[in-house]
Chains A and B, each alone.
Chain A
């Protein structure tokens, strides 16, 4: 390519994503902003706020299991004053329902996908913004509307939703939960689904269309891969949830009977199991929707802070893609006890067990990445390692539940609760914090305190292990889930002390998060100013300023190599440091440097 051709080429690239003048009005800067970084922060704030709400609800559940029927301190005299500070059985079922729905749809989803997806995708692939910035802003505000519906649900007649997060009819119809709170929550899930689909379309299009020149699919950081695959799952499967929610709303409001049967149906009747099929066709991909971004972030961070390339990058990409495809065909394991056709159950068991192969490949890649590295135990790295640890618990306990025979005993026990909290809650939660500590300097231009971050890490990882480990243990002993007072049953009465100890761990975990809250706000206000590249990592976002300008990059970068080119001896000799930018032109094109951009080292 001649110099003239190169210049023309450059012009064409820039013309595709022209720089717009930054907005000046308060409304366009902070409310209806089209900047993906601002939208990411909007998602972050709203997600963190609802994480707090979901956490408080969790503490109420834990209080009930530790001291059933006793007045609760702090919340008792204030929020629960009307019932004398006591959580009654009717309120209890609303608490665990709202805890589940809020954590999944209104806390983890906005933080992990809304905030990190929005912030990282354009920056990490070298784009100036999302493919559809206007749709992006709309997606957030539709999401905010769904959060308003959640808040409204708390004030519904007869209280909030109470049919469990799975919202199984007929309990979720007027037969079991006639209040407006349940209707508002089903509506909230439908509306948040609309926001997720808009976000998903945007993410997929952005990754396909707006990668910088040279940013091939196999040079994308694994973070982007995680978000990309999650977005694909969102676009494909959230509409199924939407259809289920809509049909359920019709049963609730217009008196249809899609999901009502038996004597409860006035005449004819539908099929409650149909809802479960619709719900879990979405619901199983949903657990991967929540974990794929976490896997991506952790896989990258383990490499960056071991100063070593991610082991078998292609294998990780393949494994994540395989999980994405398989996630659509394993959902039946949630329904083994519904009287499902035995052959179908056995088929779903085989498919479910097969999904452990790509999961093992990912795990082994993470373990081999840190081996023989030069591990820096920074706060993001600690959280990434913590995520591997808790995901070990979560992944391995999934084996029991995927097989039809042990599931007969373990289904609907606290073992299931412990399992999915280790995977969906603990792993996503720790990966979110890993990402937050890691990208905080880029998001806000300041550093967070390392000392407080480490304290937050230890209290979180130990607390999580004890809380969800305690759930696994009582579940192994048979304790069923969603019981207002499990100790009404003779079989579970001896488990009361263990439940109480688990609750103590949960309270510690909850109050330990105050360290994070303090660290977050104190660092925002007066944290040390961040350099452009405080972690010494070569991906594109660290080549622009902290925080980046509204248009991200003055010149769209031209990518030369993969994201994990760390500790390459030739480049080390040429540059005097162990990292190299993905778009960095190395003057002395040594054979090794050339190879670093070639096939073997994508």
Chain B
């Protein structure tokens, strides 16, 4: 019989085992995780205080309790309300704001720094219903040329170097989303959006479409495989040679890509 207790606990708690942030394989995803966890600590504390306060009021100040006639309208009273509101704002919201600004300006939006890093990989993504087309510039460093590496859904990137994406879509809005790298950006027709991350751990990370894009939205799946640098270089070389060999100048469908600049619109 005593063996039943852990079984029941496992039965009740089992579904909750999976509730954690996905494994983070990026250099700077910890910034987001840290903000989420700190905020969870703050709001849990506030919520528990609120529930205790409500229970106390309802239980201790029930029908037998004589109600205090107080409008709380005097400065001496409402200053406490204002003070507590301001305190929560400056601590909780202030923390979120400051950390967000540091994370965005210092890391996530630092495209110039990422571009300047030697060994950075540039990938153009062209989403459509329901797959991810990806294009690497190949040895010539130019997009939409015969030596480009073109892959569908399954991307390969090197460990320890920034991977910069420029993203668009041909039909509807999709969401280019790699939760294992803590990064996502919308794929919007007519516009090039961008994002970057730096993989830290080798492994396979899923690309999961984030924006509702039609009936098969649920299986618009891709992968990002992070390889150690030498393996990645070997893969890139082989794939590029194969791509150049298979290049068909008449296949207009396969010819897409744009000059890698600070794009905002593609026609």
Partners in one complex: yes
Residues of chain A having any CB pair with chain B under 8 Å:
88-90, 92-93, 162-164, 168-171, 175-176, 260-265, 269, 271-273, 306-315, 337-339, 342, 345-346, 349-350, 353-354, 356-357, 360-361, 363-365, 367-377, 385, 388-389, 392-393, 396-397, 399-400, 402-406, 408-413, 473-474, 476-478, 480-486, 488-491, 494-495, 497-498, 500-501, 564, 566-569, 578, 600-602
Is the Cβ of B189 less than 8 Å from the Cβ of A600? Answer: no
Minimum CB–CB distance from B186 to chain A (whole Å) comes to: 5
Q: A308-B70, A412-B184 are in contact. List 6 more A-B contacts (CB 8 A).
A: A309-B71, A372-B68, A373-B67, A403-B35, A405-B31, A408-B183
Is the Cβ of B39 less than 8 Å from the Cβ of A406? Answer: yes
Report 26 cross-chain contacts, Cβ distance below 8 Å, ordered by A residue. A171-B173, A171-B212, A176-B129, A273-B188, A309-B69, A309-B70, A309-B72, A311-B71, A337-B184, A346-B101, A346-B104, A353-B97, A371-B53, A374-B65, A400-B96, A402-B96, A405-B104, A408-B183, A409-B32, A409-B184, A411-B184, A476-B36, A480-B208, A483-B217, A483-B218, A498-B16
For the complex, give the distance between the alpha carbons of A99 and B99 in Å. Answer: 37
Q: Which residues of A contact B142 (CB under 8 A)?
A: none
Q: Which residues of B contact A342 (CB under 8 A)?
A: 104, 109
Residue of A nearest to B59 (CB): A375
For the complex, give the distance between the alpha carbons of A61 and B38 in Å. Answer: 32
Is the Cβ of B171 less than 8 Å from the Cβ of A175? Answer: yes
For the complex, give the distance between the alpha carbons of A369 and B57 in Å. Answer: 9
What are the interface flags for B173-192 relative to A under an 8 Å C-beta threshold, 1 for contact and 0 otherwise? 10101011011111011111
For the complex, give the distance between the alpha carbons of A498 and B32 in Å. Answer: 24
Is the Cβ of B189 less than 8 Å from the Cβ of A262? Answer: yes
For the complex, give the distance between the alpha carbons of A578 and B68 in Å. Answer: 11
B113 located at the interface, meaning its Cβ lies under 8 Å from any Cβ of chain A in the complex: no
B248 located at the interface, meaning its Cβ lies under 8 Å from any Cβ of chain A in the complex: no
What are the interface flags for B46-75 relative to A under an 8 Å C-beta threshold, 1 for contact and 0 otherwise? 110011011011100111111111111110
The 8 closest A-B CB pairs, nearest first, are A261-B190, A262-B189, A339-B193, A494-B18, A311-B72, A498-B15, A360-B85, A396-B43
Q: Which residues of B contact A393 (CB under 8 A)?
A: 47
B229 located at the interface, meaning its Cβ lies under 8 Å from any Cβ of chain A in the complex: no
Is the Cβ of B182 less than 8 Å from the Cβ of A489? Answer: no
Q: Which residues of A contact B101 (CB under 8 A)?
A: 346
B89 located at the interface, meaning its Cβ lies under 8 Å from any Cβ of chain A in the complex: yes
Is the Cβ of A601 less than 8 Å from the Cβ of B71? Answer: yes
Query: Known: A263-B171, A339-B193, A374-B62. Contact between A349 and B100, CB under 8 A?
Result: yes
Is the Cβ of A264 less than 8 Å from the Cβ of B171? Answer: yes
For the complex, give the distance between the alpha carbons of A404 and B97 in Å. Answer: 8
Query: Known: A372-B68, A396-B43. Contact between A312 and B77, CB under 8 A?
Result: yes
Is the Cβ of A265 less than 8 Å from the Cβ of B15? Answer: no
Is the Cβ of A264 less than 8 Å from the Cβ of B179? Answer: no
Residue of A nearest to B193 (CB): A339
B151 located at the interface, meaning its Cβ lies under 8 Å from any Cβ of chain A in the complex: no
Is the Cβ of A311 less than 8 Å from the Cβ of B215? Answer: no
Q: Which residues of B contact A168 (CB under 8 A)?
A: 172-173, 211-212
B210 located at the interface, meaning its Cβ lies under 8 Å from any Cβ of chain A in the complex: yes
Residue of A nearest to B56 (CB): A371
Minimum CB–CB distance from A335 to chain B (whole Å) comes to: 9
Residue of A nearest to B43 (CB): A396
Binds A, one of B19-27, B117-125, B156-164, B236-244: B19-27
Q: Which residues of A contact B193 (CB under 8 A)?
A: 338-339
Residue of A nearest to B89 (CB): A357
For the complex, give the distance between the alpha carbons of A396 and B92 in Å. Answer: 10
Q: Which residues of A contact B97 (CB under 8 A)?
A: 349-350, 353, 403
Minimum CB–CB distance from A597 to chain B (whole Å) comes to: 12
What are the interface flags for B190-202 relative to A under an 8 Å C-beta threshold, 1 for contact and 0 otherwise? 1111100000000
Is the Cβ of B68 less than 8 Å from the Cβ of A567? Answer: yes
Q: Which residues of B contact A164 (CB under 8 A)?
A: 212
Is the Cβ of B15 less than 8 Å from the Cβ of A367? Answer: no
Query: Known: A312-B81, A349-B100. Contact between A409 and B170, CB under 8 A?
Result: no
Is the Cβ of B47 less than 8 Å from the Cβ of A312? Answer: no
Minimum CB–CB distance from A464 to chain B (whole Å) comes to: 15
Q: Which residues of A contact B141 (CB under 8 A)?
A: none
Is the Cβ of A337 less than 8 Å from the Cβ of B217? Answer: no
Q: Which residues of B contact A412 (CB under 8 A)?
A: 175, 177, 184, 210-211
Query: Known: A364-B84, A488-B218. Contact between A273 and B191, CB under 8 A?
Result: yes
Is the Cβ of A477 less than 8 Å from the Cβ of B18? Answer: yes
Minimum CB–CB distance from B100 to chain A (whole Å) comes to: 4
Query: Known: A312-B73, A353-B96. Contact between A478 and B22, CB under 8 A?
Result: yes
Minimum CB–CB distance from A488 to chain B (whole Å) comes to: 5
A484's partner among B58, B62, B218 (CB-CB below 8 A) is B218
Is the Cβ of A374 less than 8 Å from the Cβ of B67? Answer: yes
Minimum CB–CB distance from A470 to chain B (whole Å) comes to: 9
Q: Which residues of B contact A308 (CB under 8 A)?
A: 67-70
Query: Known: A353-B93, A393-B47. Contact between A477 and B21, CB under 8 A?
Result: yes
What are the interface flags for B213-251 relative to A under an 8 Å C-beta threshold, 1 for contact and 0 otherwise? 111111101000000000000000000000000000000
Q: Which residues of A contact B192 (CB under 8 A)?
A: 339
Query: Known: A374-B66, A483-B217. Contact between A356 and B14, CB under 8 A?
Result: no
Is the Cβ of B212 less than 8 Å from the Cβ of A262? Answer: no
Residue of A nearest to B190 (CB): A261
Is the Cβ of A311 less than 8 Å from the Cβ of B171? Answer: no
Is the Cβ of B74 less than 8 Å from the Cβ of A600? Answer: yes
Is the Cβ of A406 less than 8 Å from the Cβ of B63? Answer: no
Is the Cβ of A171 less than 8 Å from the Cβ of B69? Answer: no
B54's partner among A312, A385, A482, A494 (CB-CB below 8 A) is A385
For the complex, give the distance between the alpha carbons of A338 and B189 in Å. Answer: 11
Residue of A nearest to B195 (CB): A408
For the complex, give the distance between the alpha carbons of A566 and B69 in Å. Answer: 7
Query: Known: A272-B189, A339-B188. Contact between A361 and B177, CB under 8 A?
Result: no
B86 located at the interface, meaning its Cβ lies under 8 Å from any Cβ of chain A in the complex: yes
Q: Which residues of B contact A371 (CB under 8 A)?
A: 53, 56-57, 61
A262's partner among B62, B108, B169, B215 (CB-CB below 8 A) is B169
Q: Which residues of A contact B175 (CB under 8 A)?
A: 337, 411-412, 480
Q: Which residues of A contact B152 (CB under 8 A)?
A: none
Is the Cβ of A271 less than 8 Å from the Cβ of B218? Answer: no
B82's partner among A361, A489, A500 (CB-CB below 8 A) is A361
Query: Known: A405-B31, A498-B15. Contact between A480 and B215, CB under 8 A?
Result: no
